[in-house]
Chain A
Amino acid sequence: MKNFISVCSILALIIFCSCENETGRDKEGLIIYQENQISWVRNFEPLNPVSVCRWPTRGAIYEPLFIYNPIKTDWTPWLATDYKWQENNKRLIFTIRSGVKWSDGKPFSAHDVAYTFNLSKEFPALDTRNHWEYLKSVIAISDTEIEVNFKRIYVPGFESIAGTYIIPKHIWSNLKDPLKFNNPNPVGTGPFTEILRFNSQVWELGKNYNYWQPGKPHVEKLIFPTFSSNEQTTLALLSGNLDWAGAFIPAIDRIYVEKDPEHHHYWFRNTGHSTFLLTNTKDPVLSDVNVRKAISYAIDREQVVRVGMYDYTIPAHVTSLSGPMAKWHSPEIKNKENWTVFNLEKANNLLDNAGFEWNNKEERIKPGGSPLEFDIIVVSGWSDWVRSAQVITQNLKKVGIKAKVRTYDFGAWIARMQQGDFEMAIGWADKGATPYNFFKSMMFSGYVKPIGETADLNWHRFGLEEVDLLIKEFEQTSDEERIKNIISKLQHLFIENAPGIPLFSELSWAEYNSKYFTGFPNEQNPYGPLSPNEQPSFIFTLLNVKKR
């Protein structure tokens, strides 16, 4: 009996060891990590609300009319080759690319584009970009031209119209209920469209042989194994079982790059936007702009970046715009107050003048006698932000402000933010191709809701009439000089009013391992963003990566 058991276990060992090669990687396919999933669900439906379809659906399978390249800050013609505004910006004409085919061989035309827009008119639940709030009609005037008519002039609508993913009319028009469609076998215009295999642990997306860009893509297929944590991702990158990822890795030089400097690379690109210390301007103390500026002066951003953010990023600019967005900076910015520098003296002066005196315990008190104290709320588990908030509390202590960090689960945190039930918080602001979205989210009074009501943007509840007028003017013009002028004025208003306190530049996490594939963008060759999280501009990388 004993012999039998030992023979069995030796046999089992031999079999397992021989299985080991089976886990060896497939060198033909680019292995990608973007989604944190533990088992895959087969869904390739690009229209329905967020976070349900598999990552390549929007960009690699279905493509938009134009793709914004956040590095070059321009719009690359994609399924459309050109556009022009007509009739005082009440009409937009797109020239649609000819010679494009769907992956099933059927021709693509302007009728597919018009169909895509009109489908979301018929089914408002699919109108996630809220097009029909300002659109009147979308008509295909020929096979290569569509005409977009506006109900009201809304030039920033271009961004969202040009970014809409175009679907094939000949597939969708046969559906009974497009709302419950999960599109298991996609037909798209993109570079990767063929589902080669799909199971709960791994799936593969093959190249589209009908792709309209000749010779592209270079890679035969993309492979998506499941990854459930950053640790798994890091180990897979290190062992060569993952080629391209968009994960946050702490101390990346030591953990990742040093192990193989020739192949292990990362590029944590500055997106040009900032992470904020948001201040609830409905709070009786924080409603005072000088208090907000004092808090900003008291923050040692260098220290925040070093301790909180592993020195990956840089302290924020006073307009919050940096990197690729710095091209919008107003020419008069040098003459404006810069309250994002670390200056304890100025912070103390501002607080003294605002009437907050020191008590005997090295704390400042409000005129009523109660101590000057705030809670900073942060999402629990977002450790970089939690650490940053802790540094800020130490900074604020030096000017006599008692701040405490409180962490909440994401759901609870967002509910507090939206209802204005917070004093200070670490958070983000809206972003887009121009700083318009950012300034609108920071200072547009149309977004301001009373405390207790849910506000989807402008959680800090700051509105300014002058801004409303500028926003309105911006929405009606397509003239580049005027746009620049308005953005400059908005910056001046932002600096004067400090509706929020920019902390440091936001980065976009991205790593690659060039052992099996090359041609990734990086700082030396920045043809596009590296991060797969940047949808849909990750497509530039997918089209340029080659097998070594």
Chain B
Amino acid sequence: MNKSLIYIARRLSFYLIAAFAALTLNFIIPRLMPGDPASIIFARFKGKLNPEAINAMRQSFGLTNDPILIQYWSYLKGIFRGDLGTSIAYFPEPVSEIIGSGLLWTIFLAGLSLVIAFSIGTTLGIFIAWNRTGKLDTFLPPTLAFFGALPYFWLAMVFLYVFGFSMNWFPIGRAFGNQVSPGLNFAFLFSVLYHAILPAFTLIFVSIGGWMLSMRNTMISTLGADYITFANAKGIPSKLIMLRYAARNAILPNLTGFGMALGFVLSGALLTEMIFSYPGQGFLLLQAVQSQDFPLMQGIFMTITFAVLGANWLVDIAILFFDPRTRK
């Protein structure tokens, strides 16, 4: 047990160093982008605005010409105080509030779809690997791989057009209906679920194949191992062999992949959000980049960084549980 604790602590210190490096990069990279926010916002008006307005904008945004080290210092100080600055694209809202508005929806839609796709995909992978001469194994992998290979943008548009617009089964956009008011009431919660079905389905539909295939392949090679043959010879019930002996080992690579994907959930599903007008991080990030909104960009990258690192740390702990070798 002690060894496990040391392992966890070692991993944690590694992640802290990685986090610091990421924060520094997060500060540098947006500043390497060409252009400055005031000029870009001005130019977006395509000549309908006085050029002299730019100075007023620069003043308003509080853009400074301080030396880069001083800017870096105040950036670090701000992060520890939870103050991410003021957004430019949504001036004068604080960045933390803007991110807050998209974060929950992203976690809800992309997170839920990921968990569903991972669970279904992995379970399917286990079963078709176990019955690897069955009809499902000949039919499912190529079909799902085919759909997974289609451009997501196109597929989502087709779903939107067919099920949302033509058949009118599902709403064509947004996270909830125009008539409900957000809060803990049934009308709102149902509306949220109803609106999430179509975007979530497209996300699950394209990603399920990947989880299934990787699980199936590892599972098949695990099933060829000597200890499985031995377990069979000993007469252990086949369900037990499938789940406790084979799947438990075969799931490790998938679990690592899940950790990575979980972290990236926070970067938002940009295309889903665009097509279904669904609120979330992806569209915010796009707008931040387009309007050179450094504070917002940094805030979003920071949440993504922490999410990726945090998720990986959790996966490390989970692997500790699944794989006894890491405990030695």
Most chain B CB within a 10 A radius of its CB, from A15, A25, A52, A236: A52
- Nearest-CB distance from A532 to chain B (Å)? 14
Does A347 make an interface contact (CB < 8 A)?
A: no
Contacting residues, chain A, for B284 (C-beta < 8 A): 38
Contact A456 B51 (CB under 8 A): yes
Contact B283 A38 (CB under 8 A): yes
A223-B178, A228-B274 known; A431 and B92 CB under 8 Å?
no
Q: How far is the CA of A162 from the CA of B277 in the complex (A)?
A: 38
Contact B275 A229 (CB under 8 A): yes
Contacting residues, chain A, for B53 (C-beta < 8 A): 49-50, 128-130
- How many Cβ-Cβ contacts under 8 Å join chain A to chain B? 198
Residue of B with least CB distance to A130: B52
Q: Which of A377-416 contact B (CB under 8 A)?
A: 410-412, 414-416
Task: For B182, give its contact among A41, A129, A199, A447 (CB under 8 Å).
Answer: A199
Contacting residues, chain B, for A125 (C-beta < 8 A): 56-57, 59-60
Q: How far is the CA of A207 from the CA of B98 in the complex (A)?
A: 29
Contact A19 B190 (CB under 8 A): yes
Q: List 10 A-B contacts (CB under 8 A).
A: A19-B194, A25-B178, A38-B273, A38-B277, A48-B60, A49-B57, A49-B60, A50-B41, A129-B53, A201-B175
Contacting residues, chain B, for A228 (C-beta < 8 A): 173, 273-274, 277-278, 283
A50-B45, A52-B92, A160-B50 known; A22 and B274 CB under 8 Å?
no
Contact B47 A411 (CB under 8 A): no
Contacting residues, chain A, for B89 (C-beta < 8 A): 51-52
Q: Which of B33-48 contact A (CB under 8 A)?
A: 33-35, 38-48
Contacting residues, chain A, for B172 (C-beta < 8 A): 232, 235-236, 239, 241
Contacting residues, chain B, for A456 (C-beta < 8 A): 39, 42, 51, 54
How many residues on B have C-beta within 8 angstroms of the other chain's C-beta atoms?
73
A19-B191, A38-B277, A182-B92 known; A128 and B35 CB under 8 Å?
no
Q: How far is the CA of A457 from the CA of B42 in the complex (A)?
A: 10
Q: Interface residues, chain A, CB within 8 Å of chain B?
A: 15-16, 19-20, 22-26, 38-39, 41, 43, 48-52, 124-130, 133, 160, 179-182, 197, 199-202, 223, 225-229, 231-232, 235-236, 238-239, 241, 273, 410-412, 414-418, 428-431, 437, 441, 447, 454, 456-457
Task: For B60, give its contact among A20, A24, A179, A199 (CB under 8 Å).
Answer: A179
Contact A52 B175 (CB under 8 A): no
Does B113 make an interface contact (CB < 8 A)?
A: no
Contact A48 B91 (CB under 8 A): yes
Task: For A410, give its contact among B51, B161, B179, B290 (CB under 8 Å).
Answer: B290
Does B301 make an interface contact (CB < 8 A)?
A: no
Contact A428 B47 (CB under 8 A): yes
Q: A128-B50, A180-B92, A182-B92 given; name 13 further pairs at CB < 8 Å.
A: A15-B190, A19-B194, A48-B91, A49-B91, A50-B42, A125-B57, A129-B53, A223-B178, A225-B178, A229-B275, A231-B160, A414-B43, A437-B47
Residue of B with least CB distance to A238: B165
Contact B278 A38 (CB under 8 A): yes
Contact A226 B54 (CB under 8 A): no
Q: How far is the CA of A127 from the CA of B46 in the complex (A)?
A: 20
Contacting residues, chain B, for A19 (C-beta < 8 A): 177, 187, 190-191, 194
Contact A130 B275 (CB under 8 A): no
Contacting residues, chain B, for A418 (C-beta < 8 A): 35, 39, 43
- Nearest-CB distance from A536 to chain B (Å)? 12
- Nearest-CB distance from A422 to chain B (Å)? 13
Contact A201 B194 (CB under 8 A): no
Contact A226 B275 (CB under 8 A): no
- Nearest-CB distance from B14 to chain A (Å)? 35
Contacting residues, chain B, for A273 (C-beta < 8 A): 47
Residue of A with least CB distance to B157: A231
Most chain B CB within a 10 A radius of its CB, from A38, A50, A441: A38
Contact A124 B178 (CB under 8 A): no
Residue of A with least CB distance to B195: A23
- Nearest-CB distance from B148 to chain A (Å)? 23
A50-B41, A51-B41 known; A179 and B92 CB under 8 Å?
yes
Contact A197 B179 (CB under 8 A): no
- Nearest-CB distance from B21 to chain A (Å)? 26
Most chain B CB within a 10 A radius of its CB, from A202, A410, A411: A411
Contacting residues, chain A, for B52 (C-beta < 8 A): 129-130, 133
Does B227 make an interface contact (CB < 8 A)?
A: no
Contact B57 A128 (CB under 8 A): yes
Contacting residues, chain A, for B146 (C-beta < 8 A): none
Does B27 make an interface contact (CB < 8 A)?
A: no
Q: Which of B48-96 contact A (CB under 8 A)?
A: 48-57, 59-61, 89-93
